[in-house]
Structure 1
Amino acid sequence: MRPDLRRARCRSAVVVGVLAAGALAACTGEAPAPAPPAAAVAAAWKPAPADARSWAPRPVTRGGLSTVAGQRGGTLLLHTQHGDVDFWSGVNLGSTTPGHSPGELSITRDEYRRWFTQMGEMGVHTLRVYTIHPPSMYQELKAYNEAHRDAPLYLVQGVYLPDESYLRSHDLFAAAPTRAMTAEVRDASAAVHGDLTRAAQAGRAGGTWDADVSPWVAAWIVGVEWDGQATPASDALNARQPLHRGRYFANTADASPTERWIAARMDELAGAEAARGTAAPIAFVNWPTADPLRHPAEPLETEDAVGVDANHVLPTRAWPAGTFASFHAYPYYPDFLRHQPSYQGTGDAYVAYLLDLKKHFAPHMPLMVTEFGVPSSLGSAHAGTNGRDQGDHSEQEAMSMDAAMLRTLETNGLAGGLVFSWVDEWFKYTWNTLPRQAVVDGERRSVWHDPLTNEQHFGIVAQDPTKVGQRVPWESRTGVQRVAVDQDQSWVYLTIDLEKPPTSPVRVGFDVVPGGLALPGSATRTSGVNDYAVTVDPASATATMVVDGAIDPVLLDGLPAASVPKPAVDGWSLQRLTTNRPFVLPLTKQMPPAEFLEVGRLLRGSWDPKLAAFDDRTTWQLEGRRITLRLPWSMLGLADPSSKTAVVPESGRPVGVRVDDIGVVVDAGPGGTADLRIGWDAWNRATHTERVKAGVQPLIDAFVAVSR
């Protein structure tokens, strides 16, 4: 991802999810309801077949330290009772639930218990977390593993940088981030051994960790995705910092200052583990922005400005468990994936890139893709390789793509693949919807779920908002006979009943910011209107959604004026998301045009997950004389529906406007008209239900296949 996408990962506290399936559960975001009976989800997917082999740990002792996993050259081995496993498959689990920021670490004991069971049922063997979770996570993991001795969940424990002030100071060696990380690695070691008590602080868990899960700790991953601007600046500032020559980890002679800092932290973690008699492979987080390769075709300088190389941070003979290269690698970003000549014509540029990385680290360093996946969202933020875009996938498509990528990682000899993520995360944001939401405190993102923000839809388990209940603001004996309205924390629902099936286009206009209401096709338009509109055409079986060109949200995306799509002659613009700005390609000096996803071309179909034809991107239906619309709040110009705040572009900048309600006009031509208003109550609390996403079976099958 590019730097302006980077914080779509929400570095404030870190966390990604792991696959959640098995039994559906109704949750409120604060106190989850009991999971429904297993029969309620039996038809959704089949549990992975029981494995006759034992996956119980078979630790070995080397150098006086007990290790359940270790590096052997370019291979990473998990020592189990049925033999050594050389490909690790699993999922990433974040630390939050709807209605909460990551730093609140809001996952409950019941959720951990349910999710671990579901992971096991899906054939997951490896669970990665990004930070120290509350004590209940380790207690539940120990209880699960003791109850499933032959099929435990192995833990890849992350140690996140608690103080990210280096992003502002450009000094990773400053006292604040260094002291914070040194304390965090020691606390993380104590936590997994059930030997930690600490007070809760903002952004970190507190309590007493008394569950020893160290027998199942397969690996450690420390650090963050290194920033493409702050990292080289910190390296320049700290050029005189000495190489780290520790007891357990040391630098090679050509290590950068950032690599020296990382080596010291990995050495501190190894020392804490060795003091407890255990060892496991230790790696650090990395991503394509800071990979050690050169990408001359990359159009964004910050995406190829620094290399952080695992080959420069190596274990000493005193650390028997070794290390590996850990990469978050997705098939849609950075742009060099689509433009680097050596990757084109290979059949799969994403795989070509991973093989390039593997070659760099071979033969002495295993490579594991510790984050990969595609989101099942209506919106997208970037075009990807082989159709694997950063969004605009049905749930079935996303699950199949994740499954295929997992199999590909195994086929090409990588050390493992961990799917991102277990559950959808409402707090996330992404570069092309952030400007539309920037007028509101970012903490409010977690209380509503935006279908256009792809980062909120990576989960194997969906976190669906719950409807408030239908009301009927319009009724008539003739023409437009009835308009019913409902809403949840993602969508506004309109059910329009006509006297007769429509034979000509039906137009629905929305006056969001008061200023007069117009409709597409009107002979005249009121100056200064701030409108959105949908046209349903029964003849062509299409529906489109447009916005007044003067307030088109694309105007907030920082595009050159020539790249902004021009409104139609009547002043309306098709609703779009920018998926790439125009950039000069350094090798050819060409400038491809800006790229857009036309979200205004509405998708017809079913949004009922109980039906085989379900597609969560669908937004309209026409059956006889009934039209049903399901429109994202964000496509109605709401920056934050929970606080009833709309966004209006003014001179390229977002301006927030409080709205009390939305005026709606239905014009069915000869079929009559309706004039009504949609009102709703502001909210401060997320309400949701949990559901395994449609089409998960191929992913379950892939987990099984790569584990054989």
Structure 2
Amino acid sequence: MVEETKAIHEDLPEFTGDYFSTKDANAFEKWLAARMEFVIQYQVDHYQTMHPISFTNWPTTDLLDHPAEPSVDEDLVSVDPNTIYESDQLKTGYFASYHIYPYYPDFLNYEEDYINFIDHRGEENNYAGYLDELIQAHRMPLVVAEFGIPASRGMTHRNPFGWNQGFMSEKEQGETVVRLFEDIFEQGAAGGIMFTWQDEWFKRTWNTMELDNPDRRPYWSNVQTNEQRFGILGFETHSKPLDGSLEKWEETEQLATQEEGILKALSVDHDEAYLYFMLEFDESQWDEEMKFSIMLNTIADQGNQSVPFVEDLTFEEGIDFVIDISAENENRVWVDSYYDPFYFQYGYELEMLDDAEAVENNDGQFNGIHFALSKPMTIPSTGEFIPFDYYETGLLREGIGNPESESFDSLADYTINNESGLLEIRIPWLLLNVKDPSQKEILGDIWPEGLEASEFIEQIYVNAVASKDQKLIDQLPEDSEMLPYSWDKWEEPEYEERLKESYDVIQDYLLTITGE
């Protein structure tokens, strides 16, 4: 937009108004001056008042040069507030404003002057380094009009110091927001506005936007999409708070039970964000070398009939996902290699993974579940090649997911109580290739149809397995029978408002600086 405006209106004269004028401005900056003139004049004419005024800018269009930016489009143009001058008739002032986050654009993470900058704590800090240079380059006050990080399970960008866009707990969200605000204050900005008050279910992000239904995002909570979870006020039900207690499951119908063996009962439930599993087991038979697995069949005519993690275990229906929980190993969700959208897109289509070839249905292979973080790039200032970056989002984290608990961890995926014999798991819908749980829409057959593939289902099918050293110990139900779990569609999601842990962290900090 900036480049096109400059090209079309190359001969546009400098703007001169009652409140603003320009000098050495490009056409877009002249247009902005005219728009601010209009706003102030409108306020004066209609309300006999005026307010401080600014236009929102972004690091990709700031007035600085960024030799480390690997994308030409992200450092193509500048919109310089310094070319716009206010007159004495503007009584309320003109200020610069930028949305500044610590993890993107990429130059923030690779510009040596930024990542080597020493902040007021005596620590390296790329965020403070960028703020320092940006604020000094302006002749007017500068407000950071947006800053923050999301408390989400899914991640989209890394920061070299751990202030990532996603996979941050609510407590970490609060601590990082406080840190960023301290940097904003210490580097001399006029102020900062935290983004944001409440979660926004309608949002999308680049590494999940092709995996869900864009028209149905507001109807469910996608904890894998970080853009939805910048708020310090959340909307959720936690229908089965993850805390290892059996009481909340007492009114949930059990899918299967048995008297003999280590596995005693299997139950499933859901809400707007998660699919929940509860497995009761005989604690007297359990030892730390055992592994519990939940087998899921979600899409018809696909999946693996054999599971490589347990010898001689076969199913008539194909298994699309395996949830593995053990005491000794990393725990994760596995996806059938044929039903892996990450492998299909970044391996087969974009050729960013080594030796990625087409996959046959029912090939007996499962993959970990991954999200892309950045595509391959070269840093112009150093010539350093940065390979394709991704991470395993299917890894599962043990902890307490009940907000009422003092041990609450918003990133917890499962909890196991060996004394009472209870395993609870919650899996985000998107991790199971569900595009819209409110309408039971899932990702379809991606190899012939691509990521646009979509199907609607009536239920998913579940089986539980206990194994040791890849030997089958017990199965519920036995003989590899898959039990259906279904749920009602919805047009109005259930939710409750909850102030996140980050709210208290930020509140405590603000009270210290206000002296209250």
TM-score normalised by the chain length of structure 2? 0.86
Question: Quick one: which of 378, 395, 410 aligns to 2:185?
Answer: 410
Following TM superposition, by how much is the alpha carbon of 1:269 offset from its aligned partner in structure 2, in angstroms?
0.6
Instruction: Classify the secondary structure of the residue corresponding to 1:672.
Output: strand
| Contiguous gaps of at least 5 residues in structure 2 | 118-123, 241-250, 467-471
Distance 1:496 1:659, change over 3 A: same
Task: Report the equivalent of 2:441.
Answer: 645
Following TM superposition, by how much is the alpha carbon of 1:557 offset from its aligned partner in structure 2, in angstroms?
5.0
Per-residue deviation, residues 234-290 of structure 1 (Å, max 9, x unmatched): 3222323333211112222x2122112111111011101222332221000111121
Per-residue deviation, residues 7-54 of structure 1 (Å, max 9, x unmatched): xxxxxxxxxxxxxxxxxxxxxxxxxxxxxxxxxxxxxxxxxxxxxxxx
Instruction: Classify the secondary structure of the residue corresponding to 2:426.
Output: strand
Distance 1:467 1:526, change over 3 A: closer
Asked if 1:353 is matched to 2:143, the reply is: no
Contact 2:296 2:463 in 1 (8 A): yes
Q: Distance in 2 between matches of 1:573 and 1:510?
A: 14
Task: Report the equivalent of 1:238.
Answer: 9
Matches within 5 A, 1:532-571: 532-538=321-327, 540=328, 542-555=330-343, 557-558=345-346, 560-563=350-353, 571=365
**AA at the equivalent of 2:163:** R
Q: Distance in 1 between matches of 2:364 and 2:339?
A: 14
Task: Report the equivalent of 1:374.
Answer: 149
**AA at the equivalent of 2:396:** L
Contact 1:436 1:556 in 2 (8 A): no
Contact 1:642 1:683 in 2 (8 A): yes
Instruction: Classify the secondary structure of the residue corresponding to 2:268.
Output: strand
Task: Report the equivalent of 2:245.
Answer: none
Following TM superposition, by how much is the alpha carbon of 1:696 offset from its aligned partner in structure 2, in angstroms?
3.0
Following TM superposition, by how much is the alpha carbon of 1:688 offset from its aligned partner in structure 2, in angstroms?
0.8
**AA at the equivalent of 1:502:** W
Q: Distance in 2 between matches of 1:526 and 1:238?
A: 67
Task: Report the equivalent of 1:319.
Answer: 90
Q: Distance in 2 between matches of 1:564 and 1:463?
A: 41
Contact 2:297 2:317 in 1 (8 A): no
Task: Report the equivalent of 1:590.
Answer: 384
Asked if 1:686 is matched to 2:493, the reply is: yes
Q: Distance in 2 between matches of 1:481 and 1:566?
A: 41
Following TM superposition, by how much is the alpha carbon of 1:563 offset from its aligned partner in structure 2, in angstroms?
2.6
Following TM superposition, by how much is the alpha carbon of 1:385 offset from its aligned partner in structure 2, in angstroms?
3.9
Q: Distance in 1 between matches of 2:319 and 2:82?
A: 56
Per-residue deviation, residues 179-202 of structure 1 (Å, max 9, x unmatched): xxxxxxxxxxxxxxxxxxxxxxxx
Paired residue total: 472
Matches within 5 A, 1:79-478: 230-252=1-23, 254-275=24-45, 276-346=47-117, 347-361=124-138, 364-437=139-212, 440=213, 442-465=214-237, 467=239, 470-478=252-260
Distance 1:565 1:527, change over 3 A: farther
Distance 1:618 1:520, change over 3 A: farther
Q: Distance in 2 between matches of 1:481 and 1:527?
A: 23
Distance 1:705 1:311, change over 3 A: farther
Instruction: Classify the secondary structure of the residue corresponding to 1:410.
Output: helix
Instruction: Classify the secondary structure of the residue corresponding to 2:105.
Output: coil
Following TM superposition, by how much is the alpha carbon of 1:565 offset from its aligned partner in structure 2, in angstroms?
9.0
Instruction: Classify the secondary structure of the residue corresponding to 2:182.
Output: helix
Q: Distance in 2 between matches of 1:286 and 1:605?
A: 40
Q: Distance in 2 between matches of 1:529 and 1:596?
A: 28
Q: Distance in 1 between matches of 2:324 and 2:260?
A: 21
Task: Report the equivalent of 2:244.
Answer: none
Q: Distance in 2 between matches of 1:285 and 1:381?
A: 23
**AA at the equivalent of 2:182:** R
Following TM superposition, by how much is the alpha carbon of 1:418 offset from its aligned partner in structure 2, in angstroms?
0.8
Instruction: Classify the secondary structure of the residue corresponding to 1:352.
Output: helix
Task: Report the equivalent of 1:86.
Answer: none
Task: Report the equivalent of 1:109.
Answer: none
CA RMSD of aligned residues (A): 2.4
Distance 1:294 1:528, change over 3 A: farther
Contact 2:147 2:193 in 1 (8 A): yes
Question: Quick one: which of 648, 657, 673 aligns to 2:476?
Answer: 673
Following TM superposition, by how much is the alpha carbon of 1:420 offset from its aligned partner in structure 2, in angstroms?
0.5
Q: Distance in 2 between matches of 1:348 and 1:388?
A: 10
Following TM superposition, by how much is the alpha carbon of 1:542 offset from its aligned partner in structure 2, in angstroms?
4.0
Q: Distance in 2 between matches of 1:447 and 1:432?
A: 20
Q: Distance in 1 between matches of 2:146 and 2:234?
A: 18
Instruction: Classify the secondary structure of the residue corresponding to 1:563.
Output: coil
Per-residue deviation, residues 104-136 of structure 1 (Å, max 9, x unmatched): xxxxxxxxxxxxxxxxxxxxxxxxxxxxxxxxx
Distance 1:542 1:259, change over 3 A: same
Q: Distance in 1 between matches of 2:15 and 2:504?
A: 47
Q: Distance in 2 between matches of 1:564 and 1:331?
A: 31
Question: Quick one: which of 623, 630, 636 aligns to 2:426?
Answer: 630
Q: Distance in 2 between matches of 1:303 and 1:265?
A: 25
Task: Report the equivalent of 1:576.
Answer: 370
Distance 1:408 1:588, change over 3 A: closer
Distance 1:470 1:542, change over 3 A: farther
Following TM superposition, by how much is the alpha carbon of 1:417 offset from its aligned partner in structure 2, in angstroms?
0.9
Distance 1:298 1:682, change over 3 A: same
Contact 1:532 1:636 in 2 (8 A): yes
Question: Quick one: which of 366, 387, 394 aligns to 1:600?
Answer: 394
Distance 1:541 1:623, change over 3 A: farther
Contact 2:304 2:365 in 1 (8 A): no
Task: Report the equivalent of 1:490.
Answer: 273
Q: Distance in 1 between matches of 2:394 and 2:355?
A: 13
**AA at the equivalent of 1:402:** V
Instruction: Classify the secondary structure of the residue corresponding to 1:666.
Output: strand
Asked if 1:610 is matched to 2:408, the reply is: no
| Contiguous gaps of at least 5 residues in structure 1 | 1-229
**AA at the equivalent of 1:657:** E
Instruction: Classify the secondary structure of the residue corresponding to 2:192.
Output: strand
Contact 2:55 2:96 in 1 (8 A): yes
Following TM superposition, by how much is the alpha carbon of 1:530 offset from its aligned partner in structure 2, in angstroms?
6.3
Instruction: Classify the secondary structure of the residue corresponding to 1:456.
Output: helix
TM-score normalised by the chain length of structure 1? 0.63
Q: Identity of paired residues, percent? A: 29
Per-residue deviation, residues 446-472 of structure 1 (Å, max 9, x unmatched): 010011100111111111135397332
Instruction: Classify the secondary structure of the residue corresponding to 1:660.
Output: coil
Contact 1:509 1:517 in 2 (8 A): no
